Structures are given as structure tokens and as C-alpha cells.
Chains A and B, each alone.
Chain A
Amino acid sequence: MSRKKLTLSEEELVLALRNREKIAIEALYDMYSASLFGVICRIVIDEATAEDILQETFVKIWHSFSSYSADKGRLFTWMVNIARNLSIDKLRSKDFKNHSKNQELENNVTSIDEQRNTVYKPELMGIKELVQTLKPEQKSILDLVYFKGYTHVEAADELGIPLGTIKTRLRMAIIELRKHFN
């Protein structure tokens, strides 16, 4: 793909979105679709469903943009929470439960292949580097909450760890990320 990706600064993008400019949509998509899709894919697994949710996410961002306030946080934080909530809603809906059951019966092989494709995408190769910066117990908690859509209470239940410990480890994990990225 030789198409040039559109990138704007966050302030420019927010302003353009607020003015309902067409170019803002393109820039928004080019800058954030892969990051958002990464989160959605890990929650719902099924790629076709993830694509539907990605579309719903952009629709919601576009339509409820007036409720975003830069004072309360960064644009991506707001968007990723929309994507995560839509994914979890889908995961818990009756439709999806039926759908995923049928998937198991119908074409196990293809869906497994699809999942593999998702997991082994070359874009994810950087994860290896990161694994070394995060301790396993930090990574498991962060991934449960950030990529699997668990609440920290659910994560405590799942891992059998006290709430306080969960909070501490989550904070430590993010501090490690800050050291690594910022």
C-alpha cells in the first residue's frame, strides 16, 4: 500500500474532529485504528466480529465526540475505553455467545487459523522486547485488564490475588512501561 498515512498532532486532530472535518476522520483512522483493533481483537478473538466492533467504535467516536473533554485525559484513553466497552458488551451479548458456539461447530480450523494470524502478526514482534521489561506477574495483570477487558476486581478473582496486590502490581507494571516508553 503506497497510500500515505495521514497524521496530525493530537491538538490539531481534536480541533478538526470538533469542526466535523472529513480529513479528521481519515487521520483519526490512520493514527489509531491499528492500536484500537489490537485491543478489540484480543477481547473478542473472532476477526469478523472484531472488524464489526472497530466500525462501531469509530461510529461512536464520531457521533459522541462532543462528550470528549481534553481536560480529563488524552484522546486515545477516551477512544480505547469506548472500544473496550463495545467489545465487552459484544462478548457478553447472547448473540455473540450463540455465534461463537456455532463457530466452534462450523469451522474450527478456519477460526483457529484466523486466531493464529492475529496473534502472529508481524506488527506484534515488538512485544518480545517488552516482555523482558515487565515481570510475568505484572504482564498477566496488565494484559487481563487492558487487553482482555477485565475489571481489577475480576482480575483478582481470576488470578486468586488480593485486590490490594492487584492494584500495586498494576501500578508497578505501568511504571515499568513509562520507563520503557516515555
Chain B
Amino acid sequence: MEDVKKFIESGILELYVLGDVSPAERQQVDAMIQQHPAVKAELEEIEKALESYALENAVQPSQKQRTKILNSLVINLADDRVFTKKETVTEPTVITMRPPGSSNFYKYAFAASLALLVGSVVAIYNLNSKLQQTTQQLVAANLQTQRFTKTVNYMNDQLGVFRDTSYKILHLKGTKNLPNGSLLVAWNPAKKKVMIDLKSLNMPVNDKDHQYQLWALVGGKPVDLGVFDKIANDSTDMKQMKSVALAQAFAVTREPRGGSVNPTMSEMMIIGQF
């Protein structure tokens, strides 16, 4: 009897009624019910209490359900059950199809924008390198134009010397030292400017120890006007020499490199006078 009391108080009967026992426990309870009327009575008390509790918490199904369920029990059951199952299955499948569809759209959209991005980067790179090329060409062209402008300006200046009537042009001619020698000297007494036209210079190329020196004869005395070189390949430039306001004649002598204070008369190459 002590065992029965313990068994009842263990709470296993409650779990048995609630269907919350293992198969082994179920067999044990079944056996106890058979053997002990007290256990059977206790079990019935528990069942009745829970049955009343369920009744107290009952929810009345709709009248429609009564007809439907009673019919399904009387008529062919299998068909009905399959039908209701199908109904609940198709509904979710229709709806769950949507998310994959839309996620596919985003997948493709993402891929497309990625491709577009790559394409744009390539195009931008190409355009940029073309732009750089063009800019370089433009800079080169600009430099060339500047060079030409300089040259043209310079030549204009040189041309101006001959056009300017205030310049006097003197043709120096060879002495006995250099019978074929010649040089054009342009002199502007007002501006005291003296230019020599290297294009017209007809003299032998000087060695590295000597240079030609231009002199002006002022009142019978020679005045240094600076040195110049004869270069092998003819220069087209005009060279500005030192200034002089008065001069009766110009002459060129050959002097040691750097020039001399007084001209070496024996080395006079060309001379011209007004």
C-alpha cells in the first residue's frame, strides 16, 4: 500500500493522462491500474478534472464545421482528406515562389550594373589617355608656335635694321692681307648702335687662339667695338657690337682670343670708310 501511495504521489499518473510518458512508463502505469483499484480511482479523478478544465476552456467550432466533419466521416473519407491537404499545400507554394523571383531580379540587376561599371571604367580610361595625348600635342604645338614667333620677331628686328633709314650701311672690303674679305656693318649714329651681318661675313674661320676684332676710327684713333668669330657653318644672325657715336671708318683686325687694347695694324683684314 505504501508503494501505491508513493506511485500516486510521484506525479506519473498526471503525466500519463497528459500523454507525456515513455512507452516503458506507460506499461508500468497500465500494470498498476490493473493491479490497484486505488490507482485506477486516482487516475479517473485526474482525468475528470482535466476533462472539466478542457470543457471550461472549450471553443465552439462554427456550425459549418459540424456539417463538414460529420459528412466527411460518413462519406468517402480518403478523398476529402487528400483534398484538404492539397489545399493547404498549394497555398504556400504559390506564395513562396515570389521571393526567389524577385531575388533573381536583383541578382541580374546587380550583375548588369557591375558590367556597366566595368564598361564605364574602360571607356573613361580610354578617353583619359586620348585626352592626355591631345594635351601633349597641344603643348608641343604651342612651344613650336612660340619658337616660330620668336624667330619671326627676331628676323623682323634684323630686317628693321635695313629698313630703318637712320642706319648707315658700310661695306668693309678686304686689304692686302685678305683681298676677298668683306662684311656689312650697320651703324646708327643717333642710337649709337652697331650691328654686323654675319651672313655677309666673308673671312676665313679663325683658330681657337685668335678672334676677329671690330674697330671704329674716331678722329684717327681706333676704338674697340668687340670681338666676333667666324664659324664654319654660316650664321644668319646679326650681332650687336659695342656702341659708338662718331666714326669715320670701321676696320677688322685679327687679334689674340679676347681682343687687344690697340689694334695690330699688320693683321688688318678688312676696312671701310664713309
Q: How far, in whole Å, are A170 and B66 apart by their CA atoms in the complex? A: 34
Asked whether B51 lies within 8 Å of A76 as measured between CB atoms, the reply is yes
Residues of A near B57 (CB, < 8 A) are: 35, 38-39, 42, 124, 127, 147
Contact flag A145-B47 (CB < 8 Å), given A1-B63, A33-B61, A51-B61: no
Contact flag A102-B95 (CB < 8 Å), given A147-B57, A170-B15, A181-B52: yes
Residues of A near B60 (CB, < 8 A) are: 33-34, 37, 121, 123
B131 interfacial contact with A, CB 8 Å: no
B50 interfacial contact with A, CB 8 Å: yes
B168 interfacial contact with A, CB 8 Å: no
Give the interface size bracket for A toward B: 35 or more
Asked whether A126 lies within 8 Å of B59 as measured between CB atoms, the reply is no
Residues of A near B77 (CB, < 8 A) are: 59, 63
Residues of B near A16 (CB, < 8 A) are: none
**Cβ of A118 to closest chain B Cβ, rounded Å:** 6
Residues of A near B237 (CB, < 8 A) are: none
Give the dominant DSSP class at A's interface: helix
Asked whether B73 lies within 8 Å of A25 as measured between CB atoms, the reply is yes
Residues 43-71 of B, flagged 1 when their CB comes within 8 A of A and 0 if not, give: 11111111111111111111101101110
Q: How many residues of B contact A (CB 8 A)?
A: 50
Which residue of B9, B49, B70, B73 is within 8 Å of A182 (Cβ)? B49
Which residue of B53, B81, B92 is within 8 Å of A56 (Cβ)? B81
Asked whether A178 lies within 8 Å of B45 as measured between CB atoms, the reply is yes
Asked whether A58 lies within 8 Å of B58 as measured between CB atoms, the reply is no
B30 interfacial contact with A, CB 8 Å: yes
Contact flag A95-B89 (CB < 8 Å), given A55-B69, A59-B81, A77-B51: yes
**Cβ of B16 to closest chain A Cβ, rounded Å:** 8
Contact flag A55-B95 (CB < 8 Å), given A38-B58, A74-B44, A123-B58: no
A-B pairs with beta carbons under 8 Å apart, 14 shown: A1-B63, A35-B54, A38-B57, A51-B61, A55-B65, A95-B88, A124-B58, A142-B53, A146-B50, A146-B53, A170-B18, A171-B14, A178-B45, A181-B49
B residues whose Cβ falls under 8 Å from a Cβ of A:
9-11, 14-15, 17-20, 30, 33-34, 43-63, 65-66, 68-70, 72-74, 77, 81, 84, 88-89, 91-92, 95-96
